[in-house]
Structure 1
Amino acid sequence: MGLGGALRPRRVIGNVAVTAVRAGVCVAVPLVVLVGIDRVDLAPYAALGCFTALYARDDTYARRRRVLALVGATLTVSVLVGALTRALVGGAWVSVLVVAVVAAAVKFVSDAWDFGPPGGLMFVFAAGVSSYTPQSLGAIPVQVAVTAAAAALCWVVASVGVLVHPSAPERLVVARALVAVAHQLRDPCLGRRRAAEAAVCRAWGVVVAAPRWRVAVPELEVLTARADAALAGSGDRVVDARTAAEFTELARRCRRARVPEVLAGEEEWAVLAAQAERVRGARLGALGWGGRLGRAWRWPSAAPVSAARVMVAALAAGALAPVLGVEHWYWAVVSAASVLQATNVSSTWHRTVQRATGTVAGIVVAAAVFAVDHTVWSTVVLIVACQIGAELVVMTNYAYAIVLVTPLTLALSSLTQPGATTDGMVLERLWATVLGAVVGAVVCVVVLNRRGPARVEAALAVCERACARVEAGGGVVARYRLAGALVDVWRVQEEAEGEVWSRGGEAGRVWGVESRARALVDRERVVVAVAVG
């Protein structure tokens, strides 16, 4: 897809404003404290710890606590590694090598443990900043402590919502499933059907993992069962349009009400609740952190290739930056790592266009913002405002967020380096970002990922085995697992087709397995739909 596709906005349902305000609070509190005690020199380290708030935005509270604890600890370790490298060695080339190794490691771990956006990027930023900034061994403990304290604050702020809205993440994922099914019913097509299947599978996985005694969980189970049963459609466009309108309204109420309305009679509730009970019994045991690392390493996982791409790109960008006159070499490294958080060549191209375009626009904004002098307090306000604004739009399009991230980064630099936001610094930021993005895109093409066909074949084999179990009378448990296997097939096929050397070679086989699986999945949906009536 070309430039227009890369910059096209994406619709986001729910949890935008809350996440943005949460990130703003997490940045504001440590910055205000540091300015108040006259330790503005520690502001960058507080900001690095505050990157914790950018993760697990839509996860359940239980998973959010685990992921954010890991993210906060990894950010702190990244700062420690970078600072020690600068203090003990001091050479830029060694720092580039260390940051490249960190970039590869965190890319692999973030993929294996499914940290979600922004992936391994923030850890590269943390290692890059701390390895670039002049260090003394005596200052490192304080810097690391500030990073850890900021990360802990983010963990607390992200977790306290459970006291007020304990089922908010579950309500959000069910609302998104209802909206996805509504879109499919209103205007059926293959893309919307696949999106609806994935959203319903995601909703089932989240809802059945929640304790049934928790507030709103029984209602959410029934709503998910309704969405699941209606996904195949009735064959009557008028009936489907009415169902789509009802689901859209149910999704709105689900997001806003502490206990969502189901709008189902007693008999319908009983049928759907029984279906949910059977799906709950189909839960698979989740892999532990070690098991996920092992699976990510084994063939034909793409995680090792993705990590290798990031390391090569980070080394190349970090080596080229000083040669081309870019003093802040870590900006180029971060830019290269940023575009390679994507899953394949096509999505990396999108990220490259988004990063470069957003930076150009951000430079214009930064030039206007820094055309006037700022006090320390006005700079803090600017940083918080940019952080909130970036979080408001980042899920809509990455490029929109970069427009605000650019002045945010320069404002942070100005706190510790007065006068850093000169025209020369602004232009350096532009060239470093474009350099890193281009290097990342080139490396993604040069370092080939040949594992796509094998991954598709493995996913198809799992799906075919699931089909056989359903055909043998496996019931709801087998059907639920088949739906999940089908979603995995689409995911790995899309990733494989995004590589330059693979353009749909498995499409025919995927379509055949998909048709067989969908017929089996829809067969039981029709039975449930008829039962509820």
Structure 2
Amino acid sequence: MLIDHAFTINKRPLPWTKAISAGICSGIPVLVGLLAGKFEYGLMAGIGSFTYLYVFNIPYAQRAKKLFFALLGMSISVGLGTLLAPFPIASALVVGLIGAIATFIFGALRIAGPAAIFFVLGFAMATGMAIDPSLAPFRAGLVSLGGGLAWVIGMVGWLRNPYGPEIIAIKKTYQDLAHYIDSVGTNRSDETKRRLVSTFKSTEDTLSAGYAAWRSSEPYIQLILLYERANEIFVGVLDKNEMVPPQLLTAIRNIAVEELIKEPLGEIDHEINISKPSLKRIFNDSFNRSSLVLLTAIRYGVVLSIAAIVAYSFDFNRSYWITLSCAAVMSGSSIISTFHRAIQRSLGTVVGILIATIILFLHPEGIVIVIAIVILTFLTELAIVLNYAIAVLFITPNALLLAESTTPLQHAAYFTTARITDVVIGSVIGLIGTLLIGRRQASGLLSDLMVQTIRSQQQYLFLLFSKHRTGLDFKPFLERNAMKTHSNNLRLVYTTALGEMPSRKIALESFNPAIDSIEHLGYLLEACQKYADRPTLSDESLAQLLLVFETMAAAIEHRYPLSMKHVPEIQAFSKIQQEIIHLQKHIQMITAQSESIP
């Protein structure tokens, strides 16, 4: 069953545009080097072209920074690999540090992409080149040129449609809103509501990432207004809990965002306030002993260093392939996905190495290598959305061409055997390291994060409805950001925990209704803070609400059955009251069997 799942083909649209652009990025540096008579320089710059693989559908303001730091990290990694090549132990420690830092940053900032793998690749490939530490700045410079080209190609869409990612996010919000409204009163309602709340959070993150105080243009403001209107419609439907007129549903489905943002704002009140936590706050939240991001980064770095030490301690040919394979395998987010990666990496690489051996054994000329690199990169980007094992068929020969093209292949059988051995050893080390170090990290954090999230919602609710809120600006509140951070971490930890212990998957799945309810409650609390006329609750009502939340948190924390408490009415915000009641019921079911709590 696990092995079959590792080779499941995902049904996703193929990213043709990204694949073509990635192929262009990889081919141009090598072609320029070939035409200039410095083919090996072109191959070196080609390493920087991997920067384009960090392009995802995120706002261009965020994409520009992400790609810049990706090319900077790639250049530094190659420079450090060149400097430390004569010192195996130092190289092993530094490659682990690179992997840990990259994993932590990508996890803390919740950045989609291949994370540490290509930084590790750049460092490892540099250690396998001709040893000459004095070439570190030069090699890093060549990589930065290839990365700079990838940055330009990655940003070229900004000229045509500067708000493309934000528009796509708004469209998806309205599509999911229409699906939810259409499902009201059916057995699909809970599922579509959960998906819509998740979409709202994702869209808010997208709009926040694209915000810059110095360029709040009219199109961007209109996108914010469209997002807020979608929120208002959702809250209105929740309050009424009845079917909406067909005309409204049709209007929501057919909303044409591109046309709407071309309309002048006119008399619309377009004052907006975007609040997002500082980088310092984000990293502080992730840098604590109960953070899954930190624990995962430490595990990644430690196991990677162990793999590098093993590789350097024995007489392996081109030993850095062991480190690369270990890094790729550990890119899985859980035990199960790591196991899948190990299978996919091992079997996919065997075929990929055979492809690379055939190409190299034919002693291709420069232009043939350029074409092969372009085609392999193109196929990698198409295949990665289908299945990692298929992508590895093209990733492996592509990396081998960049690394081995300037070295004549004399013994094909030896070359193939050495590479396959390296991959198997690296994959086994990555899998064993993941199994031995923190194999139950996520499940061990689940109950603590539920408690933290519930208590942060308790604090935020108190601030929303207490008499002490007068004159306070709620958008930048630390309590609101803390609540969102805990909620996001809770979902991440829960998803990861499901992949850790297949034997306990059924028990863990019983937590899903409670986690869904926590997320929905957090959304309702955020939504109601936009209403200045929300009621001020009496001290007695607030005290009872605080008791309800503390009782839920304590029941999970101390593992005893939850007794239902009365939830006071919140005038005009009955959905919050109802959701708290639902959450009590879900937690009561979990705590009824305390042994099921991790």
- Is TM (by shorter chain) over 0.5? yes
Q: 2:460, 2:480 within 8 Å by CA — same for their partners in 1?
A: no
Higher CA-based Rg: 2
In 2, distance between residues paired with 1:235 and 1:284? Answer: 31
Tell me, what secondary structure is at the counterpart of 2:37?
coil
In 1, distance between residues paired with 2:207 and 2:405? Answer: 45
In 2, distance between residues paired with 1:163 and 1:342? Answer: 35
> Given residue 139 of structure 1, which amino acid in structure 2 is its aligned partner?
L
Which residue of 222, 225, 233 maps to 1:218? Answer: 222
Q: 2:167 matched to which residue of 1?
A: 171
Shift of 1:447: 0.7
Query: Does residue 491 in structure 1 map to residue 485 in structure 2?
Result: no
Q: 1:227 to 1:406 in 2, by over 3 A?
A: farther
Shift of 1:348: 2.1
In 1, distance between residues paired with 2:368 and 2:241? Answer: 60
In 2, distance between residues paired with 1:214 and 1:421? Answer: 64
Q: 1:459 matched to which residue of 2?
A: 453
Tell me, what secondary structure is at the counterpart of 2:452?
helix
In 2, distance between residues paired with 1:311 and 1:64? Answer: 26
In 2, distance between residues paired with 1:321 and 1:380? Answer: 30
Shift of 1:62: 0.9
> For structure 1, which segment, 340-349 or 502-511, has the greater mean C-alpha deviation from structure 2 after superposition?
502-511
Which residue of 229, 233, 236 maps to 2:233? Answer: 229
1:75-474 to 2 correspondences below 5 Å: 75-86=74-85, 90-181=86-177, 188=188, 193-207=193-207, 209-210=210-211, 212-215=216-219, 218-219=222-223, 221-222=225-226, 225-226=229-230, 229=233, 243=249, 259-260=258-259, 281=273, 283-288=274-279, 290-321=280-311, 326-366=316-356, 369=359, 372-419=362-409, 422-448=412-438, 449=441, 450-466=444-460
In 2, distance between residues paired with 1:470 and 1:284? Answer: 17
In 2, distance between residues paired with 1:228 and 1:329? Answer: 58
In 2, distance between residues paired with 1:172 and 1:380? Answer: 35
Q: 2:173, 2:230 within 8 Å by CA — same for their partners in 1?
A: no
In 2, distance between residues paired with 1:110 and 1:468? Answer: 33
* Partner deviation per Cα, 1:29-71 (whole Å, 9 max, x = no partner): 2111111112222244212222221214222111112122222
Tell me, what secondary structure is at the counterpart of 1:215?
helix
In 1, distance between residues paired with 2:57 and 2:411? Answer: 35
In 1, distance between residues paired with 2:138 and 2:515? Answer: 57
Name the TM-score, length of structure 1 as normaliser. 0.80
> For structure 1, which segment, 504-513 or 230-239, has the greater mean C-alpha deviation from structure 2 after superposition?
230-239
Q: 1:451 to 1:375 in 2, by over 3 A?
A: same
Q: 1:203 to 1:327 in 2, by over 3 A?
A: same
> Given residue 335 of structure 2, which amino acid in structure 1 is its aligned partner?
V
Q: 1:212, 1:218 within 8 Å by CA — same for their partners in 2?
A: no
5+ residue gaps, structure 1: 529-533
Q: 1:464, 1:513 within 8 Å by CA — same for their partners in 2?
A: no
Q: 1:24 matched to which residue of 2?
A: 23
Q: 1:519 to 1:136 in 2, by over 3 A?
A: closer
> Given residue 451 of structure 2, which amino acid in structure 1 is its aligned partner?
E
Name the TM-score, length of structure 2 as normaliser. 0.72
Percent of paired sites with the same residue? 19
Tell me, what secondary structure is at the counterpart of 1:416?
coil
Tell me, what secondary structure is at the counterpart of 1:496?
helix
Q: 1:4 matched to which residue of 2?
A: 4
Tell me, what secondary structure is at the counterpart of 1:418?
coil
> Given residue 520 of structure 2, which amino acid in structure 1 is its aligned partner?
R
> For structure 1, which segment, 107-116 or 317-326, has the greater mean C-alpha deviation from structure 2 after superposition?
317-326
Q: 1:470, 1:520 within 8 Å by CA — same for their partners in 2?
A: no
Q: 1:128, 1:330 within 8 Å by CA — same for their partners in 2?
A: yes
Q: 1:476 to 1:322 in 2, by over 3 A?
A: closer
> For structure 1, which segment, 455-464 or 223-232, has the greater mean C-alpha deviation from structure 2 after superposition?
223-232
5+ residue gaps, structure 2: 529-571, 574-598
Give the number of equivalent residue pairs: 507
Shift of 1:214: 4.6
> Given residue 69 of structure 1, which amino acid in structure 2 is its aligned partner?
F
* Partner deviation per Cα, 1:194-247 (whole Å, 9 max, x = no partner): 44322221112323554552536515742674387359789789989995x987
Q: 1:489, 1:510 within 8 Å by CA — same for their partners in 2?
A: no
Q: 1:531 matched to which residue of 2?
A: none
